[in-house]
A and B are shown apart, each in its own frame.
Chain A
Amino acid sequence: MNTGVIELKSASRWYGNVVAVNDITMTIGPGVTGLLGPNGAGKTTVLHMMAGFLAPSQGEVTLDGRPTWRNPEIYRHLGLVTERENVHGFLTGWDFVLASARLHRLRDPEAAARRALHIVEMTEAANRRISTYSKGMRQRTRVAAALVHDPRVLLLDEPFNGMDPRQRLHMMELLHTMAREGRTILFSSHILEEVEQLSGTVQVIVAGRLAASGDYRRIRRLMTNRPHVFTIHSSDDRRLATALIRLESVSGVSLGQGGLQVQANDYGSFTRALTKTARQEQIRLRQVLPADESLESVFSYLVAANDGAALPNPVQPAPASRPTPSPQPVSGGAR
């Protein structure tokens, strides 16, 4: 069953009285997943528990069913790119990646290092010292070192930090390619536009707890207490507004400079009815924009909803993997 699945089962981690991660249950499978949360939410702690650097204070963290803590075997299948850059400037890229290959005791370390450097497109600069590299080149070299043993699971903590636009695009393509090969890629990031481009699947952590997991578009659909807002431009906004307000699924319309704003209670019925209504009225739809469907708005809703208040269960569109409601936070959880 070696498929590269990471599982957290009611995992918590505290440092003294500070609860960094509070009873998180999640499953990360093949593909690209984004790990999101405000500063200090516990993202790095989660990544470090997954990578076996930290023991969970309570609960389980496993890779393909085996615990990651005190289990060096996992490093045959797992690679980690940390947030902090600890690379030795006096080494060349080649030396650095080769050393990583040797540490893994690969049968043919030279071939493995060559392959890894080729994947990240650093072959040409491999013989230069790392101190002469740009930020993006250093980052790619670190990815190569983490990839040298061809792991099924790759964890990356803020991999895009300090990269310029071209390097970002390149890194995104790289992660996409690896995900298509069936690897499990989990990365943390603050730049929501990027997460949106790279992956629809997210795990959102707020104040040490899992606030939501799954495809963010589906997470948005589950937030039924927030009406869906659409901005519409048509050949006759006023007449369309009159027709739309008659619909059961529409709770409000307003006309403004930006066009027609529609608030819909029921996403499914409204989006189905919109085209039919417009056709009936013979109105030409030029633009239909979901105004609060971006990952950014979903994220801010989640953070606002989970800030400080007693935490509800995470929003999870996936087949319910939480049979029972989570128990109350452990001591010190209410921060």
Chain B
Amino acid sequence: MPRGAGLPYRHPVPVITTQSLTKRYANGVTALKDLTVEVEPGIIGLVGANGAGKSTLIKLLLGLLTPTSGAIRVLGLDPVTQSAEVRARVGYMPEHDCLPSDISAAEFVTHMGRISGLPAAAARERASETLRHVGLYEERYRQIGGYSTGMKQRVKLAQALVHDPQLLLLDEPTNGLDPAGRQAMLSLIHRIGTEFGISVLVCSHLLGEIERICDSLVAIDGGRLLRSASLSSMTQHTDLLAVEVDEGEQTLFDALTARGLQVKQEDRVLLVRVTQEETYDLIRDVVADLDLSLHRLEQRRYRVADLFAPSTAAQEVSRV
């Protein structure tokens, strides 16, 4: 789904820059250490282990924390000295349950719009428009307390969008959603990023989701930058071809090996190293000769998950 660059964004590029950003808490814990990163507009995935410093980075971006040293700019603004301007341009969807239960979504989102500086009438209009965008219609007049997890997530997203921000920070937006709810939330985020021209920073533990909707990725580990790159550069093809047959993978394994190919078996998948174009034909012919059902023939890609399991996946791929 990632789309090409060159779409009109209404804000300065890059969206986020940090320069040797360090944050040490009063108790001596260093949450971020010398982090230098530049984030281009688009849908950006922010990944890292628990405790890697993701939440600290978000709080710094919102101006809720002051850096110990180093610099941070959001849309070209300094969140410490220009926090009001930053908050007028940034929407934030927190991870935890933060909604009041005894008012309706329409009231709540209107209120959040007013807090961001919208006049009363505009706030009401924007709230109703935003709630419709995220897929809440008649329900928006009911009390939030009676909402399902999926609906609450939508309200959280709507309050982040109500003041028409240029940058959205989403913390675990699919948490607690079931497959259909996740799918809906992901396509919504994708639409916001592509159709509305809003840059979105998505914090998630689910690397599959990141691969599906993001253009680029920032990975942090132990408060340091692990990797910042476009997603397409991280999921490049390997020279391994995954071959899957419905039944008889052992027979196929033997036959391919007999033809002098390097084959490795991984459960029901055979990984064949492609050295020349003719390898494709060889595989096709062997499968045809054995009268097997060809289920899948696909060049293996590197996956974002390999970043987190350097000892297994990535190396095994190169070792075959």
On A, residues with C-beta under 8 Å from B are 36-39, 134-136, 161-169, 190-193, 267-268, 271-272, 274-276, 278-279, 284-290, 293, 296, 299-300, 303
Contact = CB atoms under 8 A, between A and B. Distances in A.
A166 B180 contact: no
A285 B284 contact: yes
Contact of A165 (B51, B180, B288, B305): B305
Contacts of A303: 179-180
Contacts of B295: 271, 288, 290, 293
B178 interface: yes
A286 B274 CA distance: 11
A134 B52 CA distance: 11
Interface stretch (B33-41, B81-89, B101-109, B202-210): B202-210
Interface size class on chain B is 35 or more
Contacts of B318: none
A300 B298 CA distance: 24
Interface string B144-155: 000011100000
A193 B204 CA distance: 15
Given A169-B309, A289-B296, A284 B148 contact: no
26 contacts: A38-B179, A38-B180, A39-B177, A161-B176, A162-B175, A163-B205, A165-B49, A165-B207, A167-B50, A190-B177, A190-B178, A193-B206, A193-B208, A272-B291, A274-B294, A275-B292, A278-B288, A279-B281, A279-B284, A284-B277, A284-B280, A284-B281, A286-B297, A288-B298, A289-B297, A303-B180
A278 B285 CA distance: 9
The 6 closest A-B pairs by CB, nearest first: A271-B293, A275-B288, A288-B297, A193-B208, A165-B308, A39-B178
Nearest to B286: A275
Given A164-B52, A192-B179, A300-B183, 11 more contacts: A36-B179, A39-B149, A162-B50, A164-B49, A164-B50, A164-B205, A191-B206, A272-B293, A274-B294, A275-B294, A288-B297
Contacts of A192: 179
Given A191-B206, A284-B280, A284-B284, A135 B299 contact: no
B80 interface: no
Query: Which of B178, B179, B296, B299: most chain A Cβ within 10 A?
Result: B179
Contacts of B149: 39
A271 B294 contact: yes
A287 B299 contact: yes
Contacts of A286: 280, 297, 299
B24 interface: no
A289 B298 contact: yes
A168 B205 contact: yes
Contacts of A279: 281, 284-285, 288
Contacts of A274: 294
